Amino acid sequence: MKVSIIVAVLVLLLQQSGNAQSIVIRGTIKDSADKTPLQGATVHILEDNSTVAGTVVTDRQGAFSISLNNKQPQKLRVSHSSYQDMEAVLSPSAVLHGI
């Protein structure tokens, strides 16, 4: 049975020296029904043109963290073999619900 997932995302902008900018995206992937963490979910961070800027896999607690240098992340795509894929627009401190 495929069910949706819920994602809590925190986007942090960290200024570095010069014009370089590093963006850290942290979040937790959970089952939307019972809120249990999803281990092994693949999280893709997409730029405006849908180019993959980074990919990470969630840990045992459903958590992930990824740092991107000089990228402009716009969307987050989550996939897991037992769940429907989810794609959502990123915003700071957002809670994104699966489709």
| CATH number of domain containing 42 | 2.60.40
Enter the pTM of the model.
0.76
Instruction: Considering only residues 69 and 47, tell me which one the structure prediction assigns the higher pLDDT.
Output: 47
pLDDT value of position 66 = 87
pLDDT, tens digit, for every residue of 25-51? 888 888 888 889 999 999 998 888 888
Contacts of residue 23, Cβ cutoff 8 Å, sequence gap at least 6? 11, 12, 13, 14, 67, 68, 71, 73
Query: How many independent structural domains does the chain possess?
Result: 1
Is pLDDT above 90 for 1? no
Cβ 52 vs Cβ 44: under 8 Å: yes
Question: Pairing between strand 73-79 and 42-47?
Answer: antiparallel
Residue 8 has pLDDT above 70, yes or no: no
Query: What is the per-residue pLDDT across 70-98, written as a single tens digit (0 to 9) for each?
Result: 677 788 899 999 888 888 887 665 555 55
CA distances to 10, 27, 58 from 6, in Å: 13, 10, 13
Q: What are residue 5's DSSP bridge partners?
A: 31
Indicate the DSSP class of residue 90. -
- Whole domain around residue 46: which residue ranges? 5-97
Between residues 17 and 88, the one the model is more confident about: 88
